[in-house]
Amino acid sequence: MSSPTAPLDLPTTFGALRASNYQPLSVREEMRINLERRLEEGRPLTSAVLGYEDSVLPQLETALLAGHDIILLGERGQAKTRIIRSLVELLNEWLPIVAGSEVRDDPFAPISAYGIDLVAEKGDETPITWVHRSQRFAEKLASPDTSMADLIGEVDPIKVAGGLFLDDPRALSYGLVPKSNRGIFAMNELPDLAERIQVGLLNVLEERDVQIRGHLVRLELDVMVVATANPEDYTNRGRLITPLKDRFGSQIRTHYPYELTTEIAIIHQEASLPTSPKPIVVPWFIDDVVARVSHVARKSHVISQRSGVSVRLSIANYETVVANALRRTLRTNDATVVPRISDLSAMVQSTQGKIEFDTMDDSDSDQVIGALIALAVRQCFTEHVLLDEASEIVNEFEGEALVHTGDDLPERNYLEVLEAMPSLDGPVRRVAGPVASDGELAAAVEFVLEGLYLTKRLAKDASGARALYRSRNR
């Protein structure tokens, strides 16, 4: 993605910049001032994440106002990286630097040999370029093979071959941290760094400088450091050295959504639904069940809670259920794409690989995932559906009534069931809503029948996404 073009009226020389009364600020001062303005105006720190308004974001605001380096602790899928990237919005839109500087030298106080020499030589004629805030963010995913050259820098053999001495600071090739000068440097999964590399970050976080190998070079950096880590790796038994932990000013714990409504809102915000020639309508109970599967998984003793159950699971499951409904609709030629309970079986493929099991073999994972889905459906049904006609429906099944359902059946099959079983009509229309389409009525039929089965009032013979509902007495 190309960066924005700087406005033409911005100063292009050091003298013009000085004459414009520009006042340089440190990164922390810049972010603090912009955050204070947001708070005074009643605007949130970020609107990119949901569910953190009363927990994580107030702590983050406090840390930024205090000027702290920050580490976010949380399991996977808790929007840690998104939070970090949103901090860029607290930087000023444009920043003046010495033209050609690798470390974004401030013309008022350059730190590199290149910047110092250029300002000394040209004075007020030193050329100035402007950097957009989107370019003032660098991010690195930590890994055991990350080197000091990646983060701090190394002697560039090409520059040495060009005639520079080994101890000449101009022979250095800078790493990500110096190149993040006057910006934000983010390190994801910090404990995955080798310990000797962690030691190399100590000066960055405390003395605000970097030293490259045995070279007599010292760069006074102005950089905000933000990192992420899994809590399991951040304990005393983990892989992060204690002196590095001590350098971070604030430690903030992230979490999964507390409320189902928050998880559903995140799903709606993040899910990428397939392009469809027909309208896609997702019933409220499908929203609820998909989100609830993740919530029950986060409480399951079978699922590894150390690894966590990411919100990405909910998003992927939602996309899969809608896609399965679209696949059926294209074959049955129904008017609308409406996911049903039978479409939930497709979630097995999108759940595999996103959860880890604690006490069992992966070979039984299909059954575990099926049990999680069934529990979510039962909870949704018992919490939201008041079925006064349950005994009447059960009585109809005592006769010859049998109902086939499946993710390959058209809507008309379910409408025929409603015509044949008057006791189902009222509950189904209450669940589907007053202006429900045929597709929504079909989905509601499956939901009511599955709820009756899961509350032990009907029996079910199932094979994959197909089912036969019948009386428990047969």
Question: What average pLDDT does the segment 33-40 reach?
Answer: 96
Asked which of 253, 287, 321 is the last residue of a domain, the reply is 253
pLDDT, residue 197, reads: 87
For 113-143, what is each residue's pLDDT tens digit? Answer: 899 999 999 999 999 999 999 999 999 999 8
Q: Is residue 204 part of a domain?
A: yes
pLDDT, residue 214, reads: 60
Domain match, 287 and 396 both? yes
pLDDT, residue 4, reads: 84
pLDDT, residue 304, reads: 86
Q: Is residue 141 part of a domain?
A: yes
Alpha-carbon gap, residue 259 to 407, rounded angstroms: 30
Q: Regarding beta strands 183-188 and 403-405, do their DSSP bridges make them parallel or antiparallel, or are they unpaired?
A: unpaired
Q: Regarding beta strands 70-73 and 223-229, do their DSSP bridges make them parallel or antiparallel, or are they unpaired?
A: parallel
CATH of the domain at 229: 3.40.50.300
Domain match, 165 and 300 both? no
Report the share of the chain in percent with pLDDT over 90.
66
Q: Is residue 1 part of a domain?
A: no
Q: Is residue 8 part of a domain?
A: no
Q: Regarding beta strands 94-98 and 153-155, do their DSSP bridges make them parallel or antiparallel, or are they unpaired?
A: unpaired
Alpha-carbon gap, residue 40 to 361, rounded angstroms: 54
Domain match, 282 and 205 both? no
pLDDT, residue 296, reads: 96
Domain match, 227 and 269 both? no
For 358-392, what is each residue's pLDDT tens digit? Answer: 765 656 788 899 999 999 999 999 999 988 889 99
Asked which of 232, 253, 274 is the last residue of a domain, the reply is 253
Q: For 259, left (φ over 0), alpha (ψ -120 to 50), or beta?
A: beta
For 135-159, what is each residue's pLDDT tens digit? Answer: 999 999 998 889 888 888 777 777 7
Q: Is residue 227 part of a domain?
A: yes
Domain match, 247 and 280 both? no
pLDDT, residue 472, reads: 86
Alpha-carbon gap, residue 258 to 278, rounded angstroms: 34
Cβ 108 vs Cβ 24: under 8 Å: yes
Domain match, 195 and 267 both? no
Domain match, 335 and 401 both? yes
Cβ 109 vs Cβ 24: under 8 Å: yes
Domain match, 223 and 245 both? yes
Domain match, 23 and 152 both? yes
For 298-328, what is each residue's pLDDT tens digit? Answer: 999 989 888 889 999 999 999 999 999 999 9
Indicate the SS3 state at residue 290.
Answer: helix
Alpha-carbon gap, residue 90 to 73, rounded angstroms: 22
Cβ 405 vs Cβ 466: under 8 Å: yes
Residue numbers of the domain that contains 450: 260-470
Per DSSP (E only), the strands in 43-124 are: 70-73, 94-98
Closest CA to 82 of 223, 186, 234: 186
| Residue 97 β-bridge partners | 129
Alpha-carbon gap, residue 233 to 190, rounded angstroms: 9
pLDDT, residue 240, reads: 83
Domain match, 273 and 222 both? no
For 333-350, what is each residue's pLDDT tens digit? Answer: 999 999 999 999 999 999
Mean pLDDT over all residues of the chain?
90
Q: Is the pLDDT of residue 332 over 70?
A: yes
pLDDT, residue 169, reads: 65
Q: Is residue 2 part of a domain?
A: no
Q: Which residue has the higher pLDDT, 165 or 284?
A: 284
Give the total number of structural domains in the chain.
2
pLDDT, residue 228, reads: 94
pLDDT, residue 47, reads: 83
Cβ 317 vs Cβ 293: under 8 Å: yes
pLDDT, residue 176, reads: 92
Domain match, 88 and 160 both? yes
Stated as kind and residue range, the H or E segment containing 403 is: strand 403-405
Query: Considering the entire predicted model, what is its pTM?
Result: 0.88
Domain match, 364 and 290 both? yes
pLDDT, residue 317, reads: 97
**Least confident piece of the model among 102-106, 218-222, 329-333, 434-438:** 218-222
DSSP 138: E
Question: What average pLDDT does the segment 65-71 reach?
Answer: 96
Asked which of 204, 222, 253 is the last residue of a domain, the reply is 253
Determine how many CB atoms are found less than 10 A away from the CB of residue 162: 10
Question: What average pLDDT does the segment 155-178 reach?
Answer: 74
Q: Is residue 6 part of a domain?
A: no
Q: Is residue 448 part of a domain?
A: yes
Q: Which residue has the higher pLDDT, 356 or 282?
A: 282
pLDDT, residue 360, reads: 58
Alpha-carbon gap, residue 327 to 243, rounded angstroms: 55
